Amino acid sequence: MSETTEVAATAQTGAVVSGASASLWSDAWRELCRRVTFWVAVVILFFMGLLAALPSLFTNLGPNGHCDVRQAKQRPASWNPFAAGEHPFGTDSHGCDYWAQMVHGTRAPIVVGFLVTGIALTLAIVLGSLSGYYGRLLDAFLSRVTDIFFGLPLLLGAVVILTAFPSHGMFTESFVLGLLWWPTMTRLMRGQVLSVRDADYVQAARMLGARDLRIMVRHILPNAIAPVFVYAMLNVGVVIGYEATLDYLGVGLQYPTVSWGLQLSQAQEIFTDYPYLLVYPGVFLTATVLSFLLLGDAVRDALDPRLR
Amino acid sequence: MAEEILQVQGLTKHFPLTQGVLFQRQVGQVKAVDGVSFELRKGETLGLVGESGCGKSTLAKLLMGMERPTSGTVRFEGRDVFGLSRGELRRLRRRMQMVMQDPYTSLNPRMTVGDIVGEPFAVHGDPEGGRRTRVRELLEIVGLDPEHVNRYPHQFSGGQRQRIGIARALALRPDVIICDEPVSALDVSVQAQVMNLLADLQREFGLSYVFIAHDLAVVRHISDRVAVMYLGKIVEVGDEEQIYDHPTHPYTQALLSAVPVPDPARKGAEIVLEGDVPSPANPPSGCRFRTRCWKAEDICATDEPALEPRPGATAGDDAGSPHLSACHFATEKIVRG
Amino acid sequence: MSAPLLEVDDLHIEFRTRGSTVSAVNGLSYTLDEGETLAILGESGSGKSVSAQAVMGILDSPPAHVTKGAVRFRGTDLLGLPEKRRRAYRGARIAMIFQDALSALNPVHRVGDQIAEMLIVHRKMSRGDARKSAVELMDRVRIPSAASRAGDFPHQFSGGMRQRVMIAMALALEPDVLIADEPTTALDVTVQAQIMKLLSELQDEMAMGLILITHDLGVVADVADRIALMYAGRVVEEAGVRDLYARPAHPYAEGLLASVPRIDVRGRALTPIKGAPPNLAAIPAGCPFHPRCPRARDRCSTEVPELRVVSAGADPGAAPAVAGGSAHRSACHYAEEVAGG
């Protein structure tokens, strides 16, 4: 029965243009799968994620566990970590196993990266949508607030606030960075909402009598969010870089937390003699940041083929 | 004479022109729609023609209650649309729907066809027999394959998309559909499909249409009565035969003359107007058409002609379809015989 | 016999993007004589604009590739010329105007200067002379008070006036061929009438060949001498304008004429063409129109019909096929049957 109606409908109105593609997201996904950079980034990030989530898979030492000052600054026996003995990455200036410290140092930057982006993204979506959708006074007010926050130099702001509250953990640091981070994303979100708000299909929904919440959730957000989402993904890498900078400067996380930034900070006085102390965290950090950037780029290109 | 379902009285919409970002001050106003009156009868099609800037799209938005008028009323079955509470307005939306011009931008690209056509039910509550069944029914009514409910708009051609838009407008079984240039974005060979569909639906469901278009041939084909707009005002209104075969307003005559006919035996436009449509922010005094009119005299600059029956016009049938013209010197001239 | 002014011969154009090839033009041929108006009529996707861009030499390549064919201007194949020599033809011998005048004009330059620029570059005129000529040209396309308006920017002109500016620019170098790509589609009917009148007057004055690309059957009937009707990248029917409207010899032409509402006829039922224009990535085998054709038979889905002269025998009233341009050609296996009614 359905076959006959299909034939009838096709005869009258023409065949469906293309049967293969289903939606923008599935098109984007197929495009992504074709990209080498995407897979490189995914593999690296998967590895980093595994280090952060399940460190016990990679080392049986705890953070700062079994540190022995007498064994400090042992160079790795070989540059090939798989061939080396007890301390494949050597030991740091406190005599801790450097591989174990690297593993445990992964969690903090990654958690901070996602938390800060999450906080900023949430604020951006809520404030940007309200600002763009309702316009007028609310928009004027929110835009001025955004401007004020935008005027704060990010790194300096973070240093000042974090110095004022010296005993902070990962979550306080994320909160502070998140508060400073949202303005750019909010502006982006607002612009997106503005461009979608007057689209014909939004008008059509309004003419059906749909309420504001439905219009926002069903029509505006799905069409406005892609660029913001991509920006957020690029952003995770940038935040990780900032987190490491703060740690390095001594205003971020503090001992006994372990992080790549702290490891770099510890190595700063002696790295000319013991370069591996700088190289390992440097490589891990760069690989992670770069992977997020590559991933964001790949997703952006896949979602918007016109940008290519 | 059929009952009037929609009455528009003195409808006016002025948009303020403002300068400055923070402290906006008004420097003028665009008189997009300026005192438009007409009525729509049950089951008829009223064509609204005019060139760009004549205010026909703003009029459509006003009729749909999407803009509030500066003054004037729109009555739906005798009740003033702009006096309704929000809830009542929502209920009214079930009775009045719109088909938009551009089938490529009027459908949400992230929603399936089923969700698009089913959205009216998500807003106003499910129909008897369930949403899915009704959506499939609607797709079949507009000539689409009900098996395609899970496809996305970009998988359809322009004509098919316009059918999806029509299905959405039909979902709540409205009485009135405002069609804003529904075929002008479509290929010539597909236009006729959609026009025939609209005509079939009107017959089947007793719909009343306000059919807004710039293409005079399309409007003639589908309309029972026609109103010609120029710079926010109706300059002539009458039944289709009165307007097309016995036009009395010089603008109507020029417009009809300018439309090229697909018949090489009839060559060229007889009346070619000079110049462009003046800006609606600064319309001419008196008769707005006088700056391009070959009949203009002093009185045209001072006295604005009312839209009323003119001695030079055919009386029209007595069944009550008056032929009104807003010209001091209205005389019939056969432009296309 | 001397070579025609412009001859397009078996032109093929493909758009290649990753993973797909779209055949936009598939063997297009036509000729244009001096002083003649040829209308290229077609719907979106018929290849009418793409082929004009190829003639002009402004195709974006990639993704577009001319895979076969020739474009001859007075016998010289333009496609074979190196870019440097090609440039001498573009604008000077063959000029083009577009649908959207606003995007075709540079928004940050005064229109007088934009017209003058053409003359300075191609004619090596001095700036002062070029400016003077620019004003004369604007006068010629009937722009009121041209001298003062030459100092205005494009956005200060109305749609119709902008189109006139573009026409003035196209005519600056006195081309032999003017290609007008949907010149009035974005304009209101009263302005459209002005522009079409202007174009035909200018054509008479300058004895140009005019190629009018449009989808509007009405505009064509008013101004064209000859029509080439395109479908899926090919000409499916070619005839003198009266012939085509009176005796369409291809079912597509027949269908189009039956599906447009006419302002001068009351209550005529429209007979739409079923289906939608074909997807150019998958053009139907055989006659590309056969899935939509009410007259299609088995042969149509396998055998591609050639564009051939319709023999007048079927209809004693038909004009005899004249040698040269005005022959009635159709790419339908059953052309005589269609033309016979």
Q: Give the residues across from B18 on adjacent strands.
A: B26
In angstroms, the Cα distances linking B79 to A290, B9, B11, B76, B89 are 64, 12, 15, 5, 11
Residue A12 near chain C (CB below 8 Å)? yes
The DSSP letter of residue A272 is T
Residue A16 near chain C (CB below 8 Å)? no
Q: Closest Cα partner for B112 from A16, A257, A95?
A: A16
The predicted pLDDT at position B47 comes to: 93
Do A17 and C279 lie within an 8 Å CB cutoff? yes
**Which tokens go with B292?**
């391009």
Give the whole-angstrom CA distance, residue C179 versus residue C199.
Answer: 11
**Which tokens go with A234?**
């690029």
Identify the CATH assignment for A104-293 out of 1.10.10.10, 3.40.47.10, 1.10.3720.10, 3.40.50.2000.
1.10.3720.10
Residue B321 near chain A (CB below 8 Å)? no
Which of B187, B198, B231 to mutate to test binding with chain C, by most C CBs within 10 Å of its CB? B187
DSSP B132-145: HHHHHHHHHHTT--
The predicted pLDDT at position B163 comes to: 92
Question: Between the CA atoms of B212, B218, B222 and B228, what dihedral angle is there, to the nearest 10 degrees?
Answer: 50
A256 vs A77, residue with greater confidence: A256
Position A66 pLDDT exceeds 90:
no
Instruction: State how beta strands B45-49 and B208-213 pair.
Output: parallel
CA B109 to chain CA mean position, Å: 26
The predicted pLDDT at position B21 comes to: 60
Maximum CA pair distance of chain B?
A: 66
Identify whether the C-beta of residue B141 lies closer than 8 Å to the C-beta of residue B122: no
CA C58 to chain CA mean position, Å: 15
Coil vs helix vs strand at A3: helix
Q: Which residue of C lies nearest to A13 if distances are taken between CA atoms?
A: C275
The predicted pLDDT at position C341 comes to: 64
Which of B66, B121, B142, B145 to mutate to test binding with chain A, by most A CBs within 10 Å of its CB? B145
**Chains near C (3 or more Cβ pairs under 8 Å):** A, B
The predicted pLDDT at position B7 comes to: 92
Which of B63, B98, B99, B110 to mutate to test binding with chain A, by most A CBs within 10 Å of its CB? B110
Give the whole-angstrom CA distance, residue B213 versus residue B57.
Answer: 9
What is the least distance, in Å, from the CA of C252 to any CA of chain B?
9
Do C190 and B51 lie within an 8 Å CB cutoff? yes
Q: Which residues of C touch B190 (CB under 8 A)?
A: 272-273, 276-277
**Which tokens go with A244?**
């490491």
Residue C281 near chain B (CB below 8 Å)? no
Position B202 pLDDT exceeds 90:
yes
User: Could you read off the pLDDT of A252-307 as tens digits, one per residue?
Assistant: 888 788 888 888 888 888 878 888 888 888 898 999 999 999 998 888 888 765 44
Q: Which residue of A lies nearest to B108 if distances are taken between CA atoms?
A: A201
Euclidean distance between the first and the last CA atom of chain B, given in angstroms as a whole number = 29
> What residues 258-277 of chain C have any CB closer than 8 A to a CB of chain A?
274-277
C249 vs B271, residue with greater confidence: C249
Q: Which residues of C touch A15 (CB under 8 A)?
A: 275-276, 279
Of C241, C276, C292, the CB nearest to B157: C276
B215-219 own/partner pairs: CB under 8 Å, 24+ apart = B215/B183, B215/B184, B216/B49, B216/B244, B216/B255, B216/B256, B216/B259, B216/C189, B216/C263, B217/B259, B217/C218, B217/C260, B217/C261, B217/C262, B217/C263, B218/B183, B218/B184, B218/B191, B218/C261, B219/B47, B219/B48, B219/B49
Starting at the edge strand found earlier in the chain, the sheet holding B71-76 runs B25-41, B4-19, B71-76, B79-80
Which of C43, C274, C289, C292 to mutate to test binding with chain A, by most A CBs within 10 Å of its CB? C274
Identify whether the C-beta of residue C214 lies closer than 8 Å to the C-beta of residue C220: yes
Position A25 pLDDT exceeds 80:
no
CA B119 to chain CA mean position, Å: 24
Q: Which residues of C touch A12 (CB under 8 A)?
A: 274-275
Residue A15 near chain C (CB below 8 Å)? yes
Give the whole-angstrom CA distance, residue A139 versus residue C146.
Answer: 45
DSSP A110-154: HHHHHHHHHHHHHHHHHHHHHHHHH-HHHHHHHHHHHHHHHHS-H
Residue B108 near chain A (CB below 8 Å)? yes
Q: Which residues of C touch B267 (CB under 8 A)?
A: 222
- For B207, half-sphere exposure in the C-beta direction (CA atoms, 13 angstrom radius) is 29
For the packed helices A107-134 and A136-151, what is the interaxial angle rounded to 10 degrees? Answer: 150
Identify whether the C-beta of residue C36 lies closer than 8 Å to the C-beta of residue C6: no
Position C97 pLDDT exceeds 50:
yes
The predicted pLDDT at position C38 comes to: 92
Instruction: State how beta strands C308-309 and C329-330 pair.
Output: antiparallel
Instruction: State how beta strands B324-325 and B233-239 pair.
Output: antiparallel
Fold of C6-224: Rossmann fold (3.40.50)
How big is the A-B interface in CB pairs under 8 Å?
105
* Strands in chain C per DSSP E: 6-17, 20-32, 37-41, 64-73, 76-77, 94-97, 177-181, 209-214, 226-231, 234-240, 308-309, 329-330
Q: Closest Cα partner for C104 from C154, C174, C35, C54?
A: C154
The verdict on residue B110 lying in a domain is no
The verdict on residue B168 lying in a domain is no
Q: Which residues of C touch A17 (CB under 8 A)?
A: 279
User: Looking up tokens 């054509």, which residue turns up?
Assistant: C203
Kindly report the number of other CB atoms within 10 A of residue C145's CB atom: 9
The predicted pLDDT at position C189 comes to: 83
Backbone torsion region of residue B258, taken as left when φ is above 0, otherwise alpha when ψ lies between -120 and 50, otherwise beta: alpha
Give the whole-angstrom CA distance, residue C241 versus residue C38.
Answer: 9
Position A248 pLDDT exceeds 50:
yes
Which whole number is the average pLDDT over C244-271? 85
> Phi and psi at residue C267, in whole multiples of 5°?
45, 40
B251 vs B20, residue with greater confidence: B251
The predicted pLDDT at position C317 comes to: 46
> What residues 2-61 of chain B have any CB closer than 8 A to a CB of chain A?
none
- Number of folded domains in chain B? 1
Give the whole-angstrom CA distance, residue A225 versus residue A169.
Answer: 31
Q: Give the residues across from C239 on adjacent strands.
A: C227
Of A71-75, B88-92, C266-270, the range with the highest mean pLDDT is B88-92
CA B240 to chain CA mean position, Å: 15
Starting at the edge strand found earlier in the chain, the sheet holding B233-239 runs B96-99, B176-180, B208-213, B45-49, B225-230, B233-239, B324-325, B308-309
Q: Give the residues across from B38 on adjacent strands.
A: B8
Q: Which residue of B lies nearest to A6 if distances are taken between CA atoms?
A: B145
Give the whole-angstrom CA distance, residue B316 versus residue B221.
Answer: 19
Do B94 and A209 lie within an 8 Å CB cutoff? yes
Give the whole-angstrom CA distance, residue B176 versus residue B169.
Answer: 10
Do B124 and A10 lie within an 8 Å CB cutoff? no
Of A51-55, A78-82, B31-35, the range with the highest mean pLDDT is B31-35
Percent of chain C's residues with pLDDT above 90: 7
Residue A19 near chain C (CB below 8 Å)? no
A80 vs A47, residue with greater confidence: A47
**Which tokens go with A208?**
């059906």
Give the whole-angstrom CA distance, residue B97 versus residue B102.
Answer: 16
Identify whether the C-beta of residue A252 lies closer than 8 Å to the C-beta of residue A277: no
For CATH 3.40.50.300, the residue range(s) in chain C are: 6-224
Q: How confident is the model at residue C326 (pLDDT cuts 50, 70, 90)?
A: low
In angstroms, the Cα distances linking C330 to C246, C295, C305, C338 are 14, 15, 9, 10
The verdict on residue B125 lying in a domain is no
Question: Over chain A, what is the mean pLDDT?
Answer: 81
User: Could you read off the pLDDT of B245-282 as tens digits, one per residue?
Assistant: 889 999 999 988 888 888 877 766 678 888 778 888 88
User: Could you read off the pLDDT of A219-247 as tens digits, one per residue?
Assistant: 998 888 888 888 888 889 999 999 899 88
The predicted pLDDT at position B116 comes to: 93
The predicted pLDDT at position C315 comes to: 47
What is the least distance, in Å, from the CA of C276 to any CA of chain A?
5
Parse chain A into domains and list their residue ranges: 104-293
Give the whole-angstrom CA distance, residue A219 versus residue A230.
Answer: 19
Coil vs helix vs strand at B75: strand
> Phi and psi at residue C24, in whole multiples of 5°?
-80, -40
Q: How confident is the model at residue C264 (pLDDT cuts 50, 70, 90)?
A: confident
Which whole number is the average pLDDT over B208-215? 92
How big is the B-C interface in CB pairs under 8 Å?
146
Do C279 and A11 lie within an 8 Å CB cutoff? no
User: Could you read off the pLDDT of A49-61 as tens digits, one per residue?
Assistant: 988 888 888 887 7
Instruction: State how beta strands C20-32 and C6-17 pair.
Output: antiparallel
Give the whole-angstrom CA distance, residue C41 versus residue B189.
Answer: 12
Q: Which residue of B lies nearest to A1 if distances are taken between CA atoms?
A: B147
Which of A13, A30, A306 to mutate to test binding with chain C, by most C CBs within 10 Å of its CB? A13
Position B235 pLDDT exceeds 60:
yes
Do A15 and C275 lie within an 8 Å CB cutoff? yes
User: Looking up tokens 């101004």, which residue turns up?
Assistant: C223
**Which tokens go with A110?**
């990654």
What is the least distance, in Å, from the CA of C146 to any CA of chain A?
39
Kindly report the number of other CB atoms within 10 A of residue C187's CB atom: 24
Percent of chain A's residues with pLDDT above 70: 87
> Phi and psi at residue A295, in whole multiples of 5°?
-60, -45
Give the whole-angstrom CA distance, residue B38 versus residue B48.
Answer: 10
Do C194 and B220 lie within an 8 Å CB cutoff? no
DSSP C172-238: TT--SEEEEESTTTTS-HHHHHHHHHHHHHHHHHHT-EEEEEES-HHHHHHH-SEEEEEETTEEEEE
Identify whether the C-beta of residue A11 lies closer than 8 Å to the C-beta of residue A5: no
Q: Which residue of A lies nearest to C18 if distances are taken between CA atoms?
A: A31
The predicted pLDDT at position C237 comes to: 92
For the packed helices C111-123 and C127-140, what is the interaxial angle rounded to 10 degrees? Answer: 120
Which whole number is the average pLDDT over C257-274? 83
The burial of A77, by beta-carbon neighbours within 10 Å (0-12 exposed, 13-18 middle, 19 or more buried), is given as middle
Of B195, B255, B261, the CB nearest to C270: B195
Q: How confident is the model at residue A2 (pLDDT cuts 50, 70, 90)?
A: very low
Percent of chain B's residues with pLDDT above 90: 34
Q: What angle do CA A179, A185, A187 make, to 5 degrees?
A: 110
